[in-house]
Amino acid sequence: MTMQALVQVLASGLLTGLIYGLVAVGLSLIFGLMDVVNFAHGEFLMLAMYATFGLVMVSGLDPVVLMPLVAALMFVLGGTVYVGVVRFAMRARANQGMVQIFATFGLATLLQGVAQYLFTPDYRSLSNSWLGGKTLDLGGIFLPWPQIFGALVSLAAFGGLFLLMTRTDFGRALEATREDQGAVALVGIDCNRVFALGWGLGAALVGLAGAVLAVFYYIHPGVGGAFALIAYVTVALGGFGSVFGALAAGLIVGLVEAATALILPPSLKSVGVYALYLLVVLVRPQGLFGRL
């Protein structure tokens, strides 16, 4: 293998990895906040992709312009899901873990049904956008613009999240709620409100990922499944609840996946990722940057 091919693989792995980090971070954020694994995370992504698709069809604008709108819509959806579903799941006195799993799984199935009802099970794709199909040639190394754009969005989102978590009252409330719900209630912070906003933020982040992916990935009602699995692995690898663990783990997953595809047939590219995940979790059950 030539040096150039290796650099090519590394570069595409990095770009994909940044996007994986963005797909996963919302899941990790919500888990860190309230110990809930959202089994509808992949469906959030799927809805965001359809939202992008639908808005492009209706408005004729470019998906890049519509991205903030998609994120805003997803924010509303996330908050609504917390208020309408998850809040009740948290109240269960028996089998809380299972209630959370199955309430969000039921929601996932329902959302898939809604997407199928509105958009049919057909595969869709956005063919004509500014970025679609264009590649950047860096001395023989070809990088597709949609992925570059996605990676930049991911970096910007992580940067923004960092500022939000460290510099704003909301961020501090988020961090405090994650540390100790009871104490937070005592100082007059409304936990329900923080949770709803946390869900909104988590959904908005996966919304950005969906808007990015819609430009270069096929859109169909079942698209969430594959990405959800990668998101779970990424979050478990980085450490549940660790926002920047999700970024680091996303990069690792992207790189390992690209490297595996060099050795094994492409259909087995995830095997390397799964193997790495299992290895890490067995040595460090809390993941790379997680707290137990």
Rounded Cα gap, residues 38 and 42, in angstroms: 9
CA dihedral (176, 182, 185, 191) positive or negative: positive
| Contact (CB, 8 A) for 25 and 205 | yes
Task: Choose between 210 and 272: whose C-beta lies nearer to other proteins.
Answer: 272
What six digits make up the tokens of 221?
Answer: 């009602």
Q: How far is the CB of 289 from other proteins (least distance, A)?
A: 14
83-91, 155-163, 168-176, 181-189 -> range binding other proteins (CB under 8 A)? 83-91
Q: Is 121 in the site for other proteins (CB under 8 A)?
A: yes
Rounded Cα gap, residues 158 and 145, in angstroms: 20
State the CB neighbour count (10 A cutoff) for residue 164.
14
Q: Is 142 in the site for other proteins (CB under 8 A)?
A: no
Site for other proteins in 227-246 (CB under 8 A): 229, 232-233, 235-236, 240
What six digits make up the tokens of 84?
Answer: 């309408």
100-108, 160-168, 184-192, 242-250 -> range binding other proteins (CB under 8 A)? 100-108
Instruction: With both helix axes pointing from N to C terminus, report the angle between 223-238 and 3-34 in degrees, rounded to the nearest 10.
Output: 80
Task: Choose between 144 and 198: whose C-beta lies nearer to other proteins.
Answer: 198
Q: How far is CA 139 from CA 39, 142, 275, in A?
A: 43, 8, 34
Site for other proteins in 247-266 (CB under 8 A): 265
Task: Choose between 95 and 135: whose C-beta lies nearer to other proteins.
Answer: 95
The H or E element containing residue 144 is strand 141-144
Task: Choose between 171 and 225: whose C-beta lies nearer to other proteins.
Answer: 225
Task: Choose between 150 and 221: whose C-beta lies nearer to other proteins.
Answer: 221
Number of residues that bind other proteins (CB under 8 A): 53
Candidates 9, 64, 101, 176; binder of other proteins (CB under 8 A) is 101
**Integer Rg of the chain from CA:** 19
Phi and psi at residue 185, to the nearest 5°: -60, -35
Q: Which residues bind other proteins (CB under 8 A)?
A: 31, 35, 37, 85, 88-89, 92-99, 101-103, 105-117, 120-121, 221, 225, 229, 232-233, 235-236, 240, 265, 267-268, 270-271, 274-275, 277-278, 281-282, 285-286
